[in-house]
């Protein structure tokens, strides 16, 4: 009997881990993005524009939670995501994160026009994000999750982590070691 009682919670836990509620529906990466990420895009931090508030919470606290979650999820070198542009920064790089864009929003134009139309999705959250060099989209991703209680909900934080990982490809070293195949960068001899 004791073994059965322990097995049920373990089965439920394994089932929950196997079915991530996060869905990634669209990913774009420009050729050469890995080189740009490794060549100093993140020095001093990356200005991060967070548009929209899918919850009834303080916007500044939400932005802080999002950028902290992005920091922990970033697969490459240490990168700080900042909701205020670093003083004296001349970096052309920034991240635009748009919550709950409508179906008519033009995600490919987030770097040029980040103020896209949004909608209320109730307990669901859709997130469109772009990594920009000035007005040029280097990468973008769209993700969504259903039945979210708030910004502290693990499902919401998983969405932000998944989008961040897709926005910043981790495969730079792997591609570089392949001698430039699949858009990678050749090693200097």
Q: Summarize pLDDT for 106-164 with one digit per residue, the tens.
A: 888 999 999 888 888 888 999 999 999 899 999 999 999 998 999 999 999 999 999 99
pLDDT tens-digit profile of 42-92? 666 889 999 999 998 999 999 999 999 998 887 767 778 899 877 777 788
Quick check: is 85 in a domain? yes
Quick check: is 17 in a domain? no
What's the domain count of the chain? 1
Quick check: is 101 in a domain? yes
Strands of 45-185, DSSP E: 46-51, 81-82, 93-99, 125-133, 136-145
Q: Residue 136 and residue 131: Cα distance in Å, rounded? A: 9
Determine the pLDDT at residue 49. Answer: 94
Q: 65: domain range?
A: 27-183
Quick check: is 175 in a domain? yes
59-73 and 154-167 helices, crossing angle to 10°? 60
For 183: left if phi > 0, alpha if psi spans -120 to 50, otherwise beta; the answer is left
Q: What pTM does this model have?
A: 0.76
Quick check: is 127 in a domain? yes
Quick check: is 103 in a domain? yes
Quick check: is 18 in a domain? no
Place of tokens 């992005």: 70
């Amino acid at each position: 009997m004791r073994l059965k009682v322990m097995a049920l919670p373990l089965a439920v836990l394994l089932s929950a881990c196997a079915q991530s509620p996060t869905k990634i529906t669209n990913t774009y990466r420009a050729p050469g993005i890995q080189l740009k990420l490794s060549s100093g895009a993140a020095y001093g931090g990356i200005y991060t524009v967070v548009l929209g508030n899918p919850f009834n919470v303080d916007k500044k606290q939400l932005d802080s939670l999002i950028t902290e979650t992005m920091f922990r999820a970033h697969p490459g070198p240490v990168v700080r995501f900042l909701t205020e542009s670093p003083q004296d920064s001349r970096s052309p790089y920034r991240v635009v994160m748009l919550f709950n864009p409508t179906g008519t929003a033009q995600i490919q134009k987030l770097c040029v026009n980040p103020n896209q139309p949004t909608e209320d999705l109730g307990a669901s959250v859709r997130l469109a994000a772009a990594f920009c060099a000035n007005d040029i989209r280097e990468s973008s991703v769209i993700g969504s999750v259903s039945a979210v209680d708030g910004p502290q909900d693990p499902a919401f934080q998983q969405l932000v982590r998944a989008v961040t990982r897709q926005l910043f490809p981790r495969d730079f070293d792997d591609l570089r070691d392949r001698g430039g195949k699949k858009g990678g960068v050749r090693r200097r001899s």
